[in-house]
């Protein structure tokens, strides 16, 4: 039996090849994850009695940006029962409206990013994707402004107007029907996203 010994030159070439592949992969795309502690989402709604706000207390998501600063993919997930208004009755009505026991998650999946404008560290872009709520999926578009905070960390802000009826959701009522929630809501977000290493630091 003959044993072949790899020369130091061959091993060096092999190491350089692996290193080159890793560097190229890093240049092709940048994977960013939502940093929960530095991100907020707030739902603004109305009733015939008073306006209300609810906070999203849990959010996860991942954004992939190419080396040419193009948005390749974006996925955002929100557990319905992470939406909190500070009022138990309102929260209960919200979960019933979503039928949260059956439809426990709100999800957004990007289809395309258009009208991209990069000015130094500032980014403006229109995002179009599929939003799923209460088991119904609809295509939505909204504008967001982004900023590179530091290497590997981005901040995105914007607002999304929505109608519950577009997702076959019936706006809730309370106090034996005396208080009625309006069909339209506005979701405002201020989200930080970072590479895995930076996210762990944040």
pLDDT band at 74 (very low <50, low <70, confident <90, very high): very high
pLDDT at 38: 93
DSSP the chain: --PPPPPHHHHHHHHHHHHHHHHHHHHHEEEEEE-GGG-EEEEEE-BSS--EEEEE---EEEEEEETTS-EEEEEEEEEGGGEE-S-HHHHHHHHHHHTTTT--EEEEEEEEEEEEEEETTEEEEEEEEEEEETTEEEEEEEEEEEEEEETTEEEEEEEEEEEGGGGTPPPPEETTTTEEB-SEEEEEEEEEEE-HHHHHH-
* 113-143 core/surface letters (b: 16 or more CB in 10 A; e: else): beeeeeeeeebebebebebbbbeeeeeeebe
- Is the pLDDT higher at 104 or at 17? 104
Taking the alpha carbons at both ends of the chain, their separation in whole angstroms is: 56
Report residue 88 CA to chain centroid gap.
26
Arithmetic mean of pLDDT, 156-176: 91
- Cα 172–54–144 angle (5° rounding)? 110
pLDDT at 177: 64
pLDDT in tens, 80-121: 999 999 999 889 999 999 999 999 999 999 999 998 787 877
Lookup: tokens for 50: 């008073």
**pLDDT higher than 50, residue 18:** no
| Domains located in the chain, CATH noted | 29-201 (2.40.128.110)
For the chain, what is the mean pLDDT?
85
pLDDT at 161: 97
Q: Using alpha carbons, select from 162, 154, 159 the residue that is nearest to residue 133.
A: 162
Report the C-alpha gap between 72 and 111 in whole angstroms. 9
pTM assigned to the model: 0.80
- Are 59 and 77 in contact by the 8 Å Cβ rule? The answer is yes
């Amino acid at each position: 039996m003959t044993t072949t010994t790899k020369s130091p030159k061959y091993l060096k070439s092999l190491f350089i090849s692996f290193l080159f592949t890793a560097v190229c992969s890093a240049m092709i795309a940048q994977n960013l994850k939502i940093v929960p502690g530095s991100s907020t989402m707030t739902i603004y709604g109305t009733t015939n009695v008073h306006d209300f706000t609810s906070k999203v207390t849990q959010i996860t998501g991942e954004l992939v940006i190419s080396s040419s600063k193009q948005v390749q993919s974006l996925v955002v997930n929100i557990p319905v029962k992470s939406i909190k208004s500070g009022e138990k009755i309102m929260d209960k009505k919200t979960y019933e409206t979503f039928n949260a026991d059956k439809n426990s998650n709100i999800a957004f999946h990007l289809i395309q990013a258009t009208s991209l404008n990069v000015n130094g560290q500032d980014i403006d872009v229109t995002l179009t994707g599929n939003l799923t709520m209460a088991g119904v999926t609809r295509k939505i578009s909204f504008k967001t402004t982004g900023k590179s905070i530091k290497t590997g960390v981005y901040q995105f802000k914007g607002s999304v107007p929505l109608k519950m009826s577009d997702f076959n959701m019936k706006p809730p009522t309370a106090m034996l029907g005396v208080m009625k929630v309006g069909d339209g809501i506005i979701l405002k977000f201020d989200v930080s996203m970072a590479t895995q290493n930076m996210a762990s630091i944040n």
